[in-house]
Structure 1
Amino acid sequence: MRMTKVADPQLSLKPYITAVTLCVGSVWATSAWAQEDVSPGGDGDGEVVREAGPTQSVQNVLREEHALFSDRLTIEPGISYAYSDRSQLALSGFLALDAIFLGEINVDTVSSHITTFDLNFRYGVTERLEFELNFPFLYRSSTYESTGGGGAAEDDPNVEDSVSEAGLGDISASLNYRLLNETAQRPDLVWNVGVRAPTGNDPFGIPTRRVEGSEGNVEIPTELPTGNGVWAVSTGFSVLKTVDPAILFANAGYTYNFEESFGDIDAAEGNQPGDVKLGDSFNLGFGTAFALNERLSLSMSYAHQHSFKSETTQNGVTEEVVGSDANVGTMNFGATYALSDDTSLVTNVAVGLTDDASDLTVSFRMPFQF
């Protein structure tokens, strides 16, 4: 039996890249408040020093890089683009990078493009609790190219074909709870817990088709997935500490994927029912951030995710999916600029450092606070 590699790094990485990028900045609330000193009066009765609200750049860092814990609703549309280009692939029935490969496949080059439009909602229920909801919509396109598709590279021209897919991704929701506020001795500590629903198209049982002109030597999927196909829960912690004029932070989290049953988990003709247990994943990250002025802030971080091997069960027999584990490492560079008191522009560039990561990811977000 040939089986899909069910841990798609590009589909599953985005939450963790976001989680790592969202780790930066909560302690700005304690170090970068705009303070206003009031001089004592002539009668000896002076007013105490009082704190004004945080500057707009600090609020942007809190909202985008961590949790603002504000009682105002934030609606945040965003768009991200991820590109991968891999060469000399010789695969046999598993999901590699960002494309489904089912059956005997021999592809020299795969170029993949994933554009994600998402709408994010945030609301601070209390001064310690924040709720978040995310609705993603994906457009994916992969181009497959093989040299010598007819079986002899010196005699046959290159063959090339593309597959594209658009649809709703996996909807997710999460809660952030501040366990400890930062003091001079301890960092800010936040605990988060989330759930992901399998609302996108799952990657199981997708058939393949032969590329025209390849004489059957090259097969590609007929469609691409937009989701992981299973329910998942995640939890993690992040710590942040002010070291003026910078913020140091680190975070770690774990995602558990529930086992699910599917009517077809193989590309072979006919239905091949079975159970799929996607490999759980562990993620960690660290970095720093700077608020340069009242409107502009910059951040830099590293994110890493390790996905364990997946398992399939058919006719009572459980097997590991060969090649389904992955290591995804990215370096992230971000900037946030306040356009007004209620609207900001957030940009981020992520560069892949491992083979399983996207080569390049660029994202733009524009949060509106009400």
Structure 2
Amino acid sequence: MDTVKPAKRNTLLPRTYRLRVPLVAVSFLLPGLASAQEGNGDEVVREARPSQSVENVLREEHALFSDRLTIEPGINYSYSDRSQLALRGFLALDAIFLGELNVDSVESHITTMDLNVRYGLTERLELGLNVPFVYRTTTYQSIGDEFSTERNSETDVDNADLGDVSVNMSYHLFPETETRPDVVLDMGVRAPTGRDPYGIELRENPNTNLNVPKELPTGNGVWGITAGVSALKTLDPAIVFGNLGYTYNLEESFGDISATTGPQPGDVKLGDTIRAGFGTAFALNKRLSLSLSYSHEYIRKSETTQQGVTNKVVGSDANVGVFNIGGTYALSDSTSMVTSLGIGLTEDASDISLTFRMPFQL
């Protein structure tokens, strides 16, 4: 009778799921796949599905490709505070400043409630839909209340509306092997269903020099096409992952692209976005997992075209770097709780971002 050597212990799977090493990597990404025969074929050993904590990591950081419908409501809160130094005076001898030094600040609170729906059509193809609802509150502060250089003025503006709806598709290009990571291709389309930021008039406040927008945008107003690739590798006892993507924004025409009085039609070409990220996750047990990751986005400058003249928008480019700490906990075999804390590492990133999600599998 043939002998089978015991497999190395895989701490990512429950104790009852220990399998031979060549099958473990596949079982993480294609649960319930084919069975393996041993000996003369009388005994059949089927691959076990990964633990719920591992499935949660795959769903949030990569793609699960489950044939079950996943409904995932979530809520995200982000906060940012921007201050700008205002000089009211003049320089003497190119070194000594005579006058007022003031700081104008903008505090932004954005709460996004969204619904993600995903379904695996096949073992290689998964479709997804994201519908967000955005509530924004911004506080503007500036010197100049009652036109005095010693008094600050403050105004709040808030708005709530549907955000930009997006659909996406994930294709399982290569399954994981002992030497090759699992590779997934992603394609997506974003529709301009939210309130666009163009042509929003300013609201003048009496007895102050502070002018603020009458409403806040909940979308960017243009169609976007996204393409990307992600890779994941299981390195017992960790899972490492990375992604690279590009978003192309289509040029759109608007009846008014200025905040000044009167319509000023023109075309807007938002800057395209290049994004990259990497991280690692640990399945501490069959229900709990923790992850650490870093994501970075570079947004190119936007352009506007009016009466045949194209100009780049000064200050519209951005570098957004965020360090993320996340955790997932499986409440049951079909329901999990996902939390994530994002800490902005660049000036263009939100200072803090907190996310709660709860995926349900039907």
Same-fold status (TM-score > 0.5): yes
Query: Per the alignment, do residues 287 and 40 of structure 1 end up closer, same or farther by CA in structure 2, a change over 3 Å counting?
Result: closer
Query: Per the alignment, do residues 191 and 39 of structure 1 end up closer, same or farther by CA in structure 2, a change over 3 Å counting?
Result: closer
Candidates 182, 205, 210, aligned match of 1:211: 205
User: SS of 2:48's equivalent?
Assistant: strand
Candidates 330, 334, 348, aligned match of 2:340: 348
Q: 2:154 matched to 1:160?
A: yes
Candidates 38, 43, 50, aligned match of 2:46: 50
Counterpart amino acid of 2:282?
A: F
* Distance (Å, rounded) in 2 between the aligned partners of 1:191 and 1:248: 17
Cα offset, 1:51, TM superposition:
1.3
Contact 1:70 1:124 in 2 (8 A): yes
Query: Per the alignment, do residues 232 and 151 of structure 1 end up closer, same or farther by CA in structure 2, a change over 3 Å counting?
Result: same
Cα offset, 1:219, TM superposition:
1.1
Q: Which residue pairs with 1:335 in the alignment?
A: 327
Instruction: State the identity as a percent.
Output: 64
Counterpart amino acid of 1:53?
A: R
Q: Which residue pairs with 1:181 in the alignment?
A: 175
Q: 2:48 matched to 1:75?
A: no
Q: Which residue pairs with 2:256 in the alignment?
A: 264
Which 5+ residue runs of structure 1 have no aligned equivalent?
Answer: 1-26, 91-105
Cα offset, 1:46, TM superposition:
5.8
* Distance (Å, rounded) in 2 between the aligned partners of 1:31 and 1:313: 47
Encode CA deviations 1:206-261: one digit per residue, 9 max, x unaligned. 011223431xx221111100000000101011111121111122111000000000
* Distance (Å, rounded) in 2 between the aligned partners of 1:251 and 1:65: 9
User: SS of 2:56's equivalent?
Assistant: helix
User: SS of 1:53's equivalent?
Assistant: coil
Taking structure 2 as the reference length, the TM-score comes to 0.84
Contact 2:27 2:48 in 1 (8 A): no
* Distance (Å, rounded) in 2 between the aligned partners of 1:28 and 1:298: 21
* Distance (Å, rounded) in 2 between the aligned partners of 1:297 and 1:125: 27
Encode CA deviations 1:256-307: one digit per residue, 9 max, x unaligned. 0000000000011110000000010100001101111111111110000000
* Distance (Å, rounded) in 1 between the aligned partners of 2:188 and 2:37: 48
Q: 2:186 matched to 1:192?
A: yes
Encode CA deviations 1:64-105: one digit per residue, 9 max, x unaligned. 222111111011111110011112266xxxxxxxxxxxxxxx
Q: Which residue pairs with 2:356 in the alignment?
A: 364
Counterpart amino acid of 1:171?
A: V
Query: Per the alignment, do residues 314 and 39 of structure 1 end up closer, same or farther by CA in structure 2, a change over 3 Å counting?
Result: closer
* Distance (Å, rounded) in 2 between the aligned partners of 1:63 and 1:133: 14
Query: Per the alignment, do residues 284 and 40 of structure 1 end up closer, same or farther by CA in structure 2, a change over 3 Å counting?
Result: closer
Q: Which residue pairs with 2:113 in the alignment?
A: 117
Q: Which moved more, 1:65-74 or 1:133-142?
A: 65-74
Counterpart amino acid of 2:178?
A: A
Equivalent pairs, count:
323
Q: Which residue pairs with 2:28 in the alignment?
A: 30
Cα offset, 1:107, TM superposition:
6.8
* Distance (Å, rounded) in 2 between the aligned partners of 1:193 and 1:89: 42
* Distance (Å, rounded) in 1 between the aligned partners of 2:234 and 2:255: 52
Matches within 5 A, 1:226-265: 226-265=218-257
Contact 2:293 2:323 in 1 (8 A): yes
Cα offset, 1:50, TM superposition:
2.6
Matches within 5 A, 1:130-145: 130-145=126-141
Counterpart amino acid of 2:305?
A: T
Cα offset, 1:148, TM superposition:
3.6
Q: 2:280 matched to 1:288?
A: yes
Cα offset, 1:149, TM superposition:
3.3
* Distance (Å, rounded) in 1 between the aligned partners of 2:265 and 2:41: 80
Query: Per the alignment, do residues 29 and 117 of structure 1 end up closer, same or farther by CA in structure 2, a change over 3 Å counting?
Result: farther
Counterpart amino acid of 1:30?
A: F
Which 5+ residue runs of structure 2 have no aligned equivalent?
Answer: 1-24, 87-101
Bigger Rg over Cα: 2
Contact 1:29 1:62 in 2 (8 A): no
Taking structure 1 as the reference length, the TM-score comes to 0.82
What's the Cα RMSD here? 2.5
* Distance (Å, rounded) in 1 between the aligned partners of 2:115 and 2:29: 31
Contact 1:282 1:305 in 2 (8 A): yes
User: SS of 1:282's equivalent?
Assistant: strand
User: SS of 2:262's equivalent?
Assistant: coil
Counterpart amino acid of 2:28?
A: T
